Amino acid sequence: MAQYILGISAYYHDSAAALLRDGEIVAAAHEERFTRKKHDAAFPQKAAAYVLEEAGIGLSELEAIAFYDKPYLKFERLMETYHGFAPRGVVSFLSAMPVWIKEKLFMKKMLREELAKLGQGKPRILFPEHHLSHAASAFYPSPFDEAAILTIDGVGEWSTTTIGLGRGKDITFLRELDFPHSLGLLYSAFTYYCGFKVNSGEYKLMGLAPYGIEGSERVADYRQKILDALVDLRPDGSMLLNMAYFDYATGLTMCRDGKWEALFGLPRRASESELSQEHMDMALAIQQVTEDVVLRLARTAREMTGCKNLVMAGGVSLNCVANGKLLREGIFDDVWIQPAAGDAGGALGAALAARHIWSGHDRAPLPEGAMDRMAGSYLGPEFTRKDAVRVASRHDAPCAVHDDFDALCATVADLLADGKVVGWFQGRMEYGPRALGGRSILGDPRNPEMQKKLNLKIKYREGFRPFAPSVLAEAASECFVLDRPSPYMLLVAPVAEKLRHDLPDGYWEKPMFDRLYVSRSDLPAITHVDFSARIQTVHERTNPRYHRLIKTFADRHGCPVIVNTSFNVRGEPIVCTPEDAYRCFMRTEMDYLVIGDCLFDKTNQPDYGDAGDWRDEYELD
């Protein structure tokens, strides 16, 4: 009889559910994709119902449910922190305690009540620690039988960073760093100070960093002030933060604005205000410090474990610039990063920890020809042609239905080459924060206007934000300085030298957007200001339809790369259903939409009378 284990993450941010059948991932999904509420923290009722439905089982058929952290340990950390910092933190204490006393201290009861809405049955509930969930999500799906494990995030119960060893079905922790000393929270403090939203805007800070002026006195000064005043960084990558500058332990903000302004001579940037060169330089300084910490931790992990391979998870592992630098340093032969590295991935890790540690099952062999056990991270819902046709019928929307997929790819390839923007909705939805060709918006990377068009007319987001290239795996080394797969868009690498253009004199003295709109390569829409790109290699085995589209684009137009950005507008979760996709298509200046075999032309669509303004529906992230 098959063993089913359900993993749950909830009640902080990015709730999710994942289901295993005999250790194999059946399905996994973020709750936000169903509720349309970005970073939804509620119990993942809809995501859990989906994964159970995907397996065709009910709650009673589960052997166990694994929740991604230990609530009592987290409560202990809160109480000890408030006690240690008293009398500071009374406002935060009075805000947090009612929720804990009424609900979170009784997590098992609360989970039972939510699970009862899914049907009959009372499977056992397990509570692996937060960083064990992260570590399990990284090691067990990886291709390695043995690996060093590095998990870095804001905070779990107590841990903020761990170094471990994975061998076979076992995970052993060797070292940990505890709250309040946290690389993730340090990076989030700079996210906050640069005017972005914590637990959402960290990737914007990473994207802003290349606009800082490398080698400038100001970047060096900011970096030195971080290391002198904020962080006592040790050679092994451990750190102590100077809590006189931070407020997150007991307060309601990340840092003490007055002390930071006195230290850096720079006020906190107001959200949505103009970005100054000083804030760009600050972003570069903290990015450099972050990379230094990650490299030190990786070297320590190599020394402690003797392993030639590394796996990573935790929110900081989504910093693909640091990941790319880690690879290029050659500390490990290979690095594998969980594509759902943040808290959503904790649902999968909790289930895997239950499978291999609690119930003691060995890992199954890696499927022949597979890169890992994640199935490309295409683990969410899939829809049929009939679903697409129903949406067309509901909205009286004309669409061309193609029985020949090759012909559809040829049509879409030509549309892209003509400068059109195409919504691409195919197969199963992605698990993790990146769109990987299942729920994507596509463009031609050679078009010098594409980056501006996608940011301002499609995504309605900040104009400085870069876009990622999807490249045929077999052609990646021709276009980028990359010698290995990057299927999950978690590595940044330089654009190949032969594709680059010389920069004009005085380039770094130009204002931000003057720099941005200088053509830096033959692929201007995906080449960031420092000649880098966040790369997705597309593999025929894991996404044959997307691979075929890019191959058709390469055959017809000589370019094995297309622009890939997530199918949503700013503040909106990535689309889940055909209805979500059509709504987003009609609310933006997207030119065409492909749902399965159905092609929608914007110029032929009827008036979308109930579209409304997406700004009234979604909070800006």
User: How far is residue 338's CA from residue 149's CA, in Å, rounded to a whole number?
Assistant: 11
CB 158 within 8 A of CB 254: no
| 33 to 26, 29, 380, 433, 462: CA distances (angstroms) | 18, 8, 10, 11, 23
Q: Give the CB-side neighbour count of residue 134, counting CA atoms within 13 A.
A: 31
Element (H, E) at 439: strand 439-443
3 state SS of 617: helix
User: Which residue type is seen at 211?
Assistant: Y
Element (H, E) at 20: strand 16-21
Strands 422-425 and 400-401: unpaired
User: How far is residue 410's CA from residue 556's CA, in Å, rounded to a whole number?
Assistant: 8
User: How far is residue 316's CA from residue 483's CA, in Å, rounded to a whole number?
Assistant: 23
3 state SS of 221: helix
CB 126 within 8 A of CB 80: no
- Concatenated DSSP letters of 123-171: -EEE---HHHHHHHHHHTTSS-SEEEEEEE-S-SSSEEEEEEEEETTEE
Q: In which residue are the tokens 């690095």 written?
A: 335
* Number of residues assigned to the chain: 621
Strands 598-601 and 491-494: unpaired
Question: 181 Cβ partners below 8 Å, 6+ apart?
Answer: 160, 238, 239, 240, 241
**DSSP for residue 602:** G
Q: Is residue 83 among the annotated active site residues? A: no
3 state SS of 606: coil
Bridge-partner residues for 177, per DSSP?
161
Return the structure tokens found at 365: 């062999």
Within a 10 A sphere around the Cβ of 465, how many other Cβ atoms? Answer: 18
User: How far is residue 304's CA from residue 174's CA, in Å, rounded to a whole number?
Assistant: 8
Return the structure tokens found at 437: 């060709």
**DSSP for residue 361:** P
For the annotated catalytic residues, the residue numbers are: 13
